[in-house]
Structures are given as C-alpha cells and as structure tokens.
Amino acid sequence: MSNNDLAIVILAAGKGTRLKSSLAKVLHRAGGRTLVEHIVRAGAPLKARETVVVVGHQAEQVAAVVEPLDAVTVLQQPQNGTGHAMLVAKRSLGRAKLAVVLPGDAPLVRTETLKALVTAHRNGSAAATILSAVLADPSGYGRVVRKSETTVSAIVEESQLTDEQRDINEINSAIYCFTLEKFWSALAQVRPNNKHRELYLTDAIAVLSSRSETVLAQVAADSREVLGCNTRADLADVDRVFREWKRNALMDTGVTIQLPETVLIDPDVIVGEDTIIEPAVQLLGKTKIGARCTIRTGSVLTDAVLGDEVTVEPHCVVAQSRLDDRVIIGPFARLRIGTHLKRGARVGNFVETKKAVIGEGAKVPHLTYLGDAKVGPKSNIGAGTITCNYDGFHKHPTNIGKGVFIGSDSVLVAPVRIGDGAYIAAGSTITDNVPPQGLGIARGRQVNKPGWAAKKRRDLAAAEKPKKASSKRKPRRRSKKRK
C-alpha cells in the first residue's frame, strides 16, 4: 500500500495534569520507552509522507525524543484543545490528502491496527474513520454514539454525557483517519462550548455526520491497544501490557522465563535460545544475551552483552559490561561500566569491578574491588584484594600479568604492574612493580612472644583482687540498699 498521500499527526502538547507531575505526559515512560516514542515508532512503517508531532509542554525535550525518529515538530502555545492542536499542525501537512491522527498518550497501538484503519477508511470512502474499542469500564473516555451499525453520529466527551449515553461502552481511542479537506471544513464550524473553553477535535465528528459525510468506527481487535495514559494507574496498566508482549515474544523464540509476570525486559533486549531467566530479573537497555545462559533471581542487567552459556548467579548488578562465553558471576557481584570478563572467567560474591578486563579462566572469587585493572589469563585474585586506583585527583591503572597469584587482603596501589607468574604475599600493600616470577611481600614481620598471654592474664587478675576484697567488706551498705 502506497501512503504518499498520507500524513501522521501526533498530538503531544498537553501537560497531563492528572498525572500530577513536573514532567510532560508524553515524556513519561512505559514498556521501557517514552510514550511519544512508542507512537512515532508504531506509525513509521506506514511510510507516510510526513510525521508531525504537535508539541507544547516541555517542547524541546519532546522534540529531542521524536526528531531523531524522523518526525517534525510544530509548537502549540497555548494549548487550546485537540482541535486547536490540529489547526496548528495544518500548515505542516503539505499536500497530504489523508491524516492518521493519534494522541501522544496511547502508546500500545500497533502498526497492523493503523494499517487496517487506513485501509478501512479508503475502502469505505469515509470522511473520518475512528478507531474505537469496547471496554468493560469506559469511564474517562469519550463515547462513540452510533448512527447505524457501521456509521457514527457523534463522539461525546465524558463530561458532556447524558445519563443514557453513560452506559455506552464503545469508546473513542482518539486515533482516527481523516480525509483532510472534509475535516478542515467541519473543524471550522466547531466552537469551544465546554467548561475548559477548548476546541475539541471530537466535535468535528458530529459536524461531519450532520453533513451526511461517512463517519466509520473500526473496533480494535485487542481493546488494550487503545489504553490512554491519563493517570499513574493508567501508566502502570500500559507498562504491564508492554512487558507481557515482550516476554511472550521472547518465549516464542525459545527463552524460558519463570514466573514471567515478575520479570521486566526492555524492548531492545535480545535473548538467545534455551536461556533461562529466573523470577524477579530485570534486563534493561540494549542488553544482549546469548544461548543457554542462566540469569538467576534478582539480577539486574543494563546494557550488558553476554556470550553463550554464561551463568549469572542471584542478585548481581551488571551495567555496560561484556561477559564472554562460559563466564560465571555472583551471587552478589557488581560489574560496572567497562568490565570485560573473558571466556571462562569467574567473579564471585561481593566483588566490584569497573573498567576491568579479566583474562580467560582467571578467578576473582570473593570480596574484591578491581578498578582500572587488567588481569591476565588464569590469574587468581585472593579474597579482600583491593586496587587503590584513585589518589584523590586521578585514576591510575593496575596491570596484573598471566598466571599471577595475589594473596588475600592485598592492597595494590596504582599505578603498579605485577609480572607474569608472580606471587603477592597475603596482606601486602604493594606500591612498587613486581617482576615476573617474583614474590612481592610488603608487611610487618611476625614476632611470637612465648607465654606473653598467660602472663598478661595473671597480671590483670592480680590488679583486680584488692577491689573484690574491699567490696566484700561493705555488706551493711548493700543490705541498706535492699530496703
């Protein structure tokens, strides 16, 4: 279907008073993206000649989201209603004959539904085609008043419903296809006759109908697609639907997700076949996970890239890091920006890394901080090892060679190099480079003093004795106290 006679208009200028927020409504997020971004993306495959976004509240921030997606913006200032928003968009629509109009706050609409709307509009030679939905609870929405089984006589806003109309459960999604010439002439007749003194786009429907123009309503197959976000509760509902769709899509491609309703996955995340995701996991940003991995409960991965057969034990936090095939981390590991664990490396509990490259098969099993560090293959970093990478002014590198053994509780004061195959004695504070195959030892030498403890105890006991004796000599006072 060629759509070069079609423009898309997204109305995104409103503040969103009902959200009670300092952030403009369309910049709120659901399903891992801002509301307005979802809508621009849903419309893009229609290949319209133009996508125009009407902006007003926080116009610059909204423009910064939609312009990289090839949409143009027009400024509506002040915001005098959805009909007024259309008038502001008018000059940007060029020679388009049709327009698909969408609100900026109904982000679940799918491309297929929009394509079907345009097709129904063209096939029915309509002046307007409304995407409607039948809802169990229609409150808060404008209602579709039918003229016949296929045509519509009006949309009535919630505030203006008569008692009879209140029972209508077919609602206006605020997604429409208009034949523009007819729409503009009808909109010209609309007046701001409502308590907000706004020009309602929905009032143009009654005008078209009274002129015997064809106004159709197409009922959405999945009513969830039209959910608008006017309140925080609406945002939560919409988020829940997006998350469910994403999880279902991954399960369809061979990913196991346990207790799926507890797992949060952003839209751009990729997961390979036979990977298992345990309950309460979050996979965020551009995270990419290979095949046959296990991501265990409570772990949060943001912009992480994992190879195949990687195990993330419970409660790990990973951001902007790379884990090659067969790596095992956690439980309770924290990998920060720029961490790269090479094939088969192991990072255990209570280990934090930042800008750290850990070589193949190397182990950092417990209680360690590695920052701005390189660890060669097959090296072993003992419990409690810390890189002192920051001197209060600058960050400095620590370079540990291959096959190195760092004894427990060592402090490596950067910049420092530990040569291949070297040993560091436990408890050392290493300030100088250690040569390959050497031993670095930097701690006080142990001195044993035989019998010292026994003598100490005897001395202490002797010092205590006179005190005890004197307290025994005052029994009368104690009995007085007891009275």
Where along the sequence are the contacts to ligand UD1 (CB under 6 A)? 11-14, 25-26, 54, 76, 79-82, 84-85, 103-106, 141-142, 155, 157, 171-174, 200-202, 228, 230
* CA separation for the pair 402, 360 (Å, rounded): 9
Please name which of 7, 200, 226, 225 lies closest in space to residue 101, comparing C-alpha atoms.
7
DSSP 80: -
Give yes or no for residue 107 binding Mg ion (CB under 5 A).
no
Give yes or no for residue 105 binding Mg ion (CB under 5 A).
yes
Of 11 and 362, the one with the shorter C-beta distance to ligand UD1 is 11
Q: Cβ 95 to ligand UD1, closest distance in Å?
A: 23
Q: Cβ 235 to ligand UD1, closest distance in Å?
A: 12
Of 145 and 335, the one with the shorter C-beta distance to ligand UD1 is 145
Task: Write down the residue that tokens 């036979």 correspond to.
Answer: 274
Of 101 and 356, the one with the shorter C-beta distance to ligand UD1 is 101
* Chosen from ligand UD1, Mg ion, none, partner binding at 79 (C-beta under 5 to 8 Å by type): ligand UD1
Of 172 and 321, the one with the shorter C-beta distance to ligand UD1 is 172
Of 38 and 374, the one with the shorter C-beta distance to ligand UD1 is 38
Torsional sign, CA 252, 254, 255, 256: positive
Of 173 and 214, the one with the shorter C-beta distance to ligand UD1 is 173
* CA separation for the pair 154, 162 (Å, rounded): 13
Torsional sign, CA 93, 98, 100, 103: positive
* CA separation for the pair 391, 186 (Å, rounded): 71
Distances (CA, A) of 285 to 11, 129, 301, 304, 318: 27, 37, 8, 8, 12
Torsional sign, CA 91, 94, 96, 97: positive
Residue closest to ligand UD1 when measured from CB atoms: 142
Which of these ranges, 99-107, 219-227, 427-435, 443-451, lies near Mg ion under the rule CB under 5 A?
A: 99-107
The pairing of strands 423-424 and 317-319 is unpaired
* CA separation for the pair 174, 16 (Å, rounded): 15
Which of these ranges, 98-106, 292-300, 433-441, 445-453, lies near Mg ion under the rule CB under 5 A?
A: 98-106
Ranges within 225-244 binding Mg ion (CB under 5 A): 228, 230
> 336: buried, middle or exposed (CB in 10 Å: 19+, 13-18, 0-12)?
middle
H or E stretch covering 90: none
Cα Rg, the chain, nearest whole Å: 34
Q: Mark residues 262-301: x for contact with Mg ion by CB under 5 A, - for none.
A: ----------------------------------------
38 is catalytic: no
Q: Cβ 220 to ligand UD1, closest distance in Å?
A: 12
Torsional sign, CA 269, 330, 398, 388: positive
* CA separation for the pair 43, 12 (Å, rounded): 15
Q: Cβ 186 to ligand UD1, closest distance in Å?
A: 14
* Chosen from Mg ion, ligand UD1, none, partner binding at 76 (C-beta under 5 to 8 Å by type): ligand UD1
* CA separation for the pair 394, 453 (Å, rounded): 46
| 198 φ, ψ (degrees, to nearest 5) | -105, 155
* Chosen from Mg ion, ligand UD1, none, partner binding at 85 (C-beta under 5 to 8 Å by type): ligand UD1
Which of these ranges, 66-74, 76-84, 103-111, 287-295, lies near Mg ion under the rule CB under 5 A?
A: 103-111
Give yes or no for residue 309 binding Mg ion (CB under 5 A).
no
Of 230 and 297, the one with the shorter C-beta distance to ligand UD1 is 230
* Residues near Mg ion (CB under 5 A): 105, 228, 230
Q: Return the active site residues.
A: 366
